[in-house]
């Protein structure tokens, strides 16, 4: 269905608030900026800000919903003959090789990472997002593998695949903060993904393999 006028205005307002807030956070740091200051800068009321973003952390991490189901989308979209791990590794390699902002390979990511590092509230929220993503992936693997209730394998495999992504993102973040260029980090991150794959056991690498026929 086509987006209606009301929905479009709400989406535009949400994006405007997020953009204004992010600019202030990057300029002054997360903890130094108040919701009232964000509202004044965006020319809206404080209540309007809270209507769109219940917590200040949501303004900076406004794309976290996409993070929560990212690995699950990769698994559900795996090709015939691919396992869950195959799909995750393939998608991550595509993004790294393409120097994608989705994995932090972009100008300005270092500044973003420094803001997060300087705010305990943001770090706590990111941890919550990561835990939610892990639970989401556990459910997806259970459904996609047909595992019986009580089978711990989906939980164990989800933990391994979550580790793959978090290790990659942690490496990219550290290297970008260190001042390296995105293209250079991309090349080394591809090598890292190969090394990560070598560390995964056969049970993980073959889990939830989609039938070839």
Task: Report the run of H or E that residue 77 belongs to, with start and end.
Answer: none
Tens-digit pLDDT profile for residues 155-209: 999 999 999 999 999 999 999 999 999 999 999 999 999 999 999 999 999 999 9
Alpha carbon separation from 161 to 11, 109, 135, 164 (Å, rounded)? 33, 23, 12, 5
* Low-confidence stretches of the chain (pLDDT beneath 50): none
127-132: long-range contacts (C-beta < 8 A, 24 or more apart)? 129/61, 129/64, 129/67, 129/68, 130/67, 130/162, 130/166, 132/68
Question: How close are the terminal C-alpha atoms of the chain, in Å?
Answer: 34
User: What is the residue whose two structure tokens read 């992504």?
Assistant: 165
* Amino acid 81: pLDDT: 95
* Amino acid 3: pLDDT: 63
* Amino acid 2: pLDDT: 63
CA distance 116 to 25: 10
CA distance 70 to 134: 10
For 150, left (φ over 0), alpha (ψ -120 to 50), or beta?
Answer: left
* Amino acid 66: pLDDT: 74
Task: Report the run of H or E that residue 107 belongs to, with start and end.
Answer: none
* Dihedral angle over CA of 91, 92, 94, 99, nearest 10: 150
175 Cβ contact partners less than 8 Å away, ≥ 6 residues apart: 185, 188, 189
Nearest CA to 132 among 72, 87, 173, 182? 72
pTM comes to: 0.85
């Amino acid at each position: 269905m086509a987006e209606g006028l009301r929905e479009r205005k709400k989406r535009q307002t949400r994006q405007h608030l997020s953009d204004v807030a992010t600019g202030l956070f990057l300029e002054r740091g997360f903890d130094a900026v108040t919701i009232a200051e964000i509202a004044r800068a965006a020319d809206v009321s404080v209540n309007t800000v809270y209507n769109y973003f219940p917590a200040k952390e949501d303004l900076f991490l406004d794309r976290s919903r996409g993070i929560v189901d990212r690995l699950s989308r990769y698994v559900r979209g795996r090709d015939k003959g691919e396992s869950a791990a195959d799909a995750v590794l393939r998608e991550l390699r595509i993004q790294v090789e393409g120097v994608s902002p989705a994995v932090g390979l972009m100008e300005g990511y270092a500044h973003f990472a420094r803001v997060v590092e300087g705010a305990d509230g943001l770090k706590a929220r990111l941890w919550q997002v990561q835990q939610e993503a892990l639970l989401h992936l556990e459910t997806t693997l259970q459904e996609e593998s047909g595992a019986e209730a009580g089978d711990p394998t989906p939980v164990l495999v989800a933990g391994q695949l979550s580790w793959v992504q978090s290790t990659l993102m942690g490496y990219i973040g550290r290297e970008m903060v260190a001042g390296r260029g995105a293209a250079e980090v991309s090349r080394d991150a591809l090598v890292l993904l190969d090394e990560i794959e070598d560390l995964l056991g056969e049970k993980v690498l073959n889990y939830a393999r989609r039938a070839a026929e």
